Amino acid sequence: MLVTMKEILDHANTENYGVAAPNFFCEVDARAALEAAEDLNAPIILDISYKNSMDIIFTGSYVLRLAEQAKVPVALNLDHGQNLTHAVTAIRAGFTSMMIDRSMLDFEENVRQVKKLVEIAHSVDMSVEAELGHVGKGERYQSKDCGKLTDPEDAKRFVEQTGVDCLAVSIGTAHGSYQGEPRIDFERLSRIKERVAVPLVIHGASGTGRDKLAEACRLGINKVNINNDLLQAAYEEIIAHDMSGNGAYGLWKHLKNGYKQRLMEYIQLFGGAGKAWQSNQHGLIRKEISLVE
């Protein structure tokens, strides 16, 4: 069933667990993500970024149908939207939420731009995620200018002034694979959680480590964005099989299995398994990929 991200994250915030938010690219990984959620009876948030989508309106047209058919709560979220064009495109694509990432701007300008788009999104019942502080890239993790940690007092003011439904915080994670060992500031997370009532989000979960992610969810992270680790798992599954000759017909199946299995591990780790609430939907229509013969 298709729901707003707010509905999913408010539930997670009340019950203190994390919802997996895998990035997807096409029908194959979207189906893998929905199946993983259904198999574990977990709510899920499908994230797709504007810049990584080939055609976000077209993608929305089919993922929306899959989400409506799913027997667990599903939200479709535009990841790292940046401006009015992205926001309106997400609305046209039928998404139920959008991230407006203006975290590279100073506080006042971030507030000003996000607040304006929150008003538009809320007028069509879409949830909004924004980011304060800045989550950098893992490949630059060792450099001093990789990201900026979230100030707890600023986080409180930002949520009050913008009216966002959830907040992405910077506590030491980074996008993509890390150069060096990730250092997560749990004390900072606790201080943010004490001050901010809306659900909290982390980006850049891949490579952070199972124990650290579990601890982050225990301390109040409610949405965990994950991408690279799922792609790595898909790749590992593909190369574990003989892809020569007709073996190549198994490409999409192996990709889907690898992605799905790793995502299931993460859903369980974040505490989302068994947390889906009642729906009378009939479940995702499954079709095994079989192109051989």
Binding-site residues for Zn(2+), please?
Answer: 80, 101, 131, 175, 203
Q: Which is nearer to Zn ion, 134 or 203 (CB)?
A: 203
Residues annotated in the binding site, as ranges? 80, 101, 131, 175, 203
Residue nearest to Zn ion (CB): 203
C-beta neighbour count of 32 within 10 angstroms: 25
* Binding footprint of Zn ion on the chain (CB under 5 A): 203
Q: Which is nearer to Zn ion, 203 or 275 (CB)?
A: 203
Residue 80 beta carbon to Zn ion: minimum distance, rounded to whole angstroms = 6
Residue 68 beta carbon to Zn ion: minimum distance, rounded to whole angstroms = 26
Q: Residue 207: name the closest of 190, 230, 188 by CA.
A: 230
Q: Which is nearer to Zn ion, 80 or 254 (CB)?
A: 80
Q: Which residues are paired to 53 by β-bridges?
A: none
Task: Give dist(CA 222, CA 21) in Å, integer.
Answer: 10
Task: Give dist(CA 91, CA 77) in Å, integer.
Answer: 10
Burial class (CB in 10 A: 0-12, 13-18, 19+), 106: exposed
Which residue among the candidates 29, 79, 165, 229 is catalytic per the annotation? 79
User: Does residue 79 carry a catalytic annotation?
Assistant: yes
Q: Which is nearer to Zn ion, 86 or 203 (CB)?
A: 203
Sequence-ordered alpha helix ranges (H) in 97-227? 107-123, 152-162, 186-195, 210-218
Task: Give dist(CA 50, CA 243) in Å, integer.
Answer: 32
Residue 253 beta carbon to Zn ion: minimum distance, rounded to whole angstroms = 28
For the annotated catalytic residues, the residue numbers are: 79
